[in-house]
Amino acid sequence: MQITGNTILITGGGSGIGRALAESFHKEGNHVIIAGRRKALLDEVVTANPGMSAAVLDIESADAIVSFAAEMKKSYPALNVVIHNAGIMRPENVTEGNLDTAEATITTNLLGPIRLTAALLPQLLAQPHAAILTVSSGLAFVPMFPTPTYCATKAAIHSYTQSLRYQLRDTKVEVIEIVPPYVQTELMGAHQVSDPRAMPLKEYIDETVNILRTQPDVKEVLVGRVLPLRYAEKNGNYDEFYSQFNAAMAAH
């Protein structure tokens, strides 16, 4: 992926990793459009970053995604990169039998990127060069027991990304998977921002963007902190790693 001169759409761009990526790509000389549900939050980011654009998107609505894609084509005809960052992560107790969290998580984290990719793909295919970046998680490879549906959606995004990449192999659309570790954001609440077990957000973004800059043909963006999760099975100690990892989560 070329690191500059793009028109980039970033979903979930109002906070956390999405906002940090948006600001970093903005500084690299790209036109960045952030999308999300909360207009006030989007406006705050755009005000702090003159030249950035914003658009409201309800990623849970199939109809809203179709109309949103039509607006992108009309207002941003040069759009050539989409980063599927929007996501929710909520704990679940499977013994309660309430599926509200599971269904919302699947709709946002999995159906959202699939629907938006389908809606934007004709525009991306028409560009001289383009890229689709999905955001999965280290938890796609070693799930964390309190958030079973979140982990399952991220495993599905990893699988979907591989198939998408292969189907688009003879086009000018690159497909790249970003695989974050545990990062200091508010994904699971304000406490996560200062959790010493999590990777500082700036450190994560700097390493991620540097990988994209120095490895233009990269398929998976893997910072050092996520490697134990990504390669737990390959390293031959998956069962032990899984048990220790989840025991540590249970202890907090």
242 is catalytic: no
Q: Report residue 1 as tokens.
A: 């992926």
Catalytic residue among 76, 150, 166, 238: 150
Give dist(CA 194, CA 187) in Å, integer.
12
Strand 220-221 relative to strand 81-84, pairing: unpaired
DSSP the chain: --SSS-EEEEETTTSHHHHHHHHHHHHTT-EEEEEES-HHHHHHHHHHSTT-EEEE--TT-HHHHHHHHHHHHHH-TT--EEEE---------GGG---HHHHHHHIIIIIHHHHHHHHHHHHHHTSSSEEEEEE--GGGTS--TT-HHHHHHHHHHHHHHHHHHHHTTTSSEEEEEE---SBSSSTT-GGGGG-TTSBPHHHHHHHHHHHHHH-TT-SEE--GGGHHHHTTTTTT-HHHHHHHHHHHHHT-
User: Catalytic site residues?
Assistant: 150
